[in-house]
């Protein structure tokens, strides 16, 4: 293949939705889709995006899309000032074209945009590519995963059985039914695990009341950022944008549920939940938290995406509410930011279930004087940086 035949198209944020609609009309040839309609619409509503910001890079061979990279505008807070940054949110190349350097070409085109770029939540292959290109590697972000499936011996057995059945010709629907049966067997054990995890938290339940809300207000954010903070900024408007314009839809509600799109865009179940927490007499507002619940057979994952409580002593209520919603939605896996580590009650069970994970950050400042260049390792990293909350 002659690389000169590959064209890299830059799509502005303002044109993303029209571009997505046009691509879908000609998707009958099963070529890869660089962006879905609902994700494109969401990007156009980003409160930090200007209409002429580049939101998508698309590599095409003739009329065929062979790779793409999404770019999400954001803000870096430096004390009382703000500076624009951009988070590349997707990077994908069709497997048959990966040996031609298309991924590298997409990244180089993003670097040429003269943006302050922050790459995070990347795959292992992208991680290796960014190191080869000598992007500045920042400190790693720690976070925690509590995986109840670690205790599900039935799941391990059925997953092994599923591989065998697929090899000998049984379709995936048959093997998926077997996995669902294994979950039925594991259900009593999972209920016991929920009860054990909640045991140490129940003492706090009468201290608070809470309610689900549709949006977060600016006054709810008061005190979240101090005058000297240096971090990627999430205002109430960004949180509400995320709540209103989801990137991921539910499989039975989507018009196009079988698109050739590499990243998650439909799940069996997907929901954001925003909670406001008050004292038990409802007089004192304590803070808010935002959860996501995503289910795709055989797993349901609950993530604590965002929170702010003015009093750190009230953080104990966050873990309590996380566990309550884990129980309500029968989640198999919980993702928590490192800042809540000290509020998790450690005993033999949690030590067995909990895993510490790390997320890479790579910076590409647009010049030596940009805030991203001068701050580097002074930036405080957060679990909800980049596109993490949306997926």
- Using one digit for the tens of pLDDT, what is the confidence trace for 128-185? 899 999 999 988 999 999 888 787 766 666 666 666 666 666 655 555 666 666 667 6
Cβ neighbour number for residue 279 with a 10 Å cutoff: 13
Q: Are residues 148 and 285 in the same domain?
A: yes
Residue 61 lies in domain: 3-140
SS3 labels along 89-103: EEEEECHHHHHHCHH
DSSP conformation class of 380 = B
Question: Distance between CA 254 and CA 298 in Å, rounded?
Answer: 20
- Interatomic CA distance for residues 103 and 315, integer angstroms: 42
- Counting Cβ atoms within 10 Å, is residue 80 exposed (0-12), middle (13-18) or buried (19+)? exposed
Looking at the structure, do residues 100 and 203 belong to the same domain, yes or no?
A: no
pLDDT of the residue at 169: 65
pLDDT class of 353 with cuts at 50, 70, 90 = confident
**Has residue 268 been placed in a domain?**
yes
Instruction: Judge if 122 and 151 occupy the same domain.
Output: no
- Residue at a domain's end among 140, 165, 192: 140
- Residue 374 counted as domain residue: no
Q: Please check whether residues 135 and 230 belong to one and the same domain.
A: no
- Whether residue 376 lies inside any domain: the answer is no
Q: How many structural domains is the chain composed of?
A: 2
378 located within any domain: no
Domain shared by 316 and 205, yes or no: yes
DSSP annotation of 31 reads P
Segment 232-254 shows an average pLDDT of 91
| Least trusted range by pLDDT, from 26-35, 139-148, 315-324 | 26-35
Contact 242, 48 (CB under 8 A): no
Distance CA 319, CA 339 (A): 11
367 is a domain residue: no
Whether the per-residue pLDDT at 258 is higher than 90: the answer is no
Smallest CA-to-CA distance from 350 within 364, 336, 360, 329 is with: 336
- pLDDT at site 11: 98
Q: Does residue 90 sit in the same domain as residue 150?
A: no
Specify the long-range contacts of residues 256-259, CB closer than 8 Å, at least 24 apart. Answer: 256/24, 256/36, 256/37, 259/24, 259/27, 259/33, 259/36
pTM of the shown model: 0.89
Let me know whether 63 and 209 are in one domain: no
| Poorest-pLDDT segment among 127-131, 147-151, 286-290, 381-385 | 147-151
- Same domain for 304 and 268, yes or no, is yes
Are 128 and 187 within one domain?
A: no
């Amino acid at each position: 293949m002659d690389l000169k035949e590959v064209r890299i198209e830059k799509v502005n944020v303002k044109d993303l939705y029209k571009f997505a609609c046009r691509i879908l009309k000609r998707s009958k040839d099963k070529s890869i889709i660089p962006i879905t309609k609902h994700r494109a619409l969401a990007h156009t509503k980003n409160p930090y995006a200007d209409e002429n910001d580049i939101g998508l890079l698309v590599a095409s061979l003739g009329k065929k899309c062979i790779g793409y990279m999404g770019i999400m505008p954001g803000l870096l807070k430096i004390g009382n000032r703000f500076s624009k940054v951009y988070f590349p949110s997707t990077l994908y190349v069709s497997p048959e074209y990966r040996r031609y350097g298309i991924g590298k070409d997409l990244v180089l085109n993003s670097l040429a945009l003269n943006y302050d770029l922050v790459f995070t939540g990347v795959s292992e292959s992208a991680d290796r590519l960014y190191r080869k290109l000598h992007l500045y590697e920042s400190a790693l972000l720690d976070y925690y995963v509590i995986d109840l499936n670690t205790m599900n011996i039935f799941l391990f057995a059925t997953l092994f059985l599923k591989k065998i059945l697929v090899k000998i010709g049984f379709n995936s629907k048959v093997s998926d039914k077997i996995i669902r049966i294994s979950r039925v067997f594991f259900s009593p054990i999972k209920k016991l695990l929920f009860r054990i995890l909640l045991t140490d938290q129940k003492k706090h339940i009468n201290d608070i009341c809470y309610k689900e809300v549709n949006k977060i207000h600016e006054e709810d954010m008061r005190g979240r950022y101090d005058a000297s903070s240096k971090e990627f900024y999430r205002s109430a408007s960004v949180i509400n944008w995320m709540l209103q314009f989801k990137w991921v839809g539910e499989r039975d509600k989507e018009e196009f549920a079988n698109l050739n799109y590499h990243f998650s865009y439909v799940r069996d179940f997907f929901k954001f939940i925003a909670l406001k927490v008050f004292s038990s007499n409802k007089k004192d507002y304590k803070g808010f938290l935002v959860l996501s619940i995503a289910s795709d057979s055989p797993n349901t994952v609950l993530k604590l995406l965002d929170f702010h409580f003015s009093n750190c002593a009230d953080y104990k209520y966050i873990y309590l509410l996380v566990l309550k919603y884990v129980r309500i939605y029968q989640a198999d896996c919980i993702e928590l930011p490192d800042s809540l580590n000290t509020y998790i009650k450690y005993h033999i069970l949690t030590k067995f279930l909990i895993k510490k994970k790390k997320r890479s950050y790579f910076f590409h400042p647009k010049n030596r004087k940009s805030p991203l260049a001068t701050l580097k390792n002074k930036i405080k990293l957060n679990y909800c940086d980049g596109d993490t909350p949306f997926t």
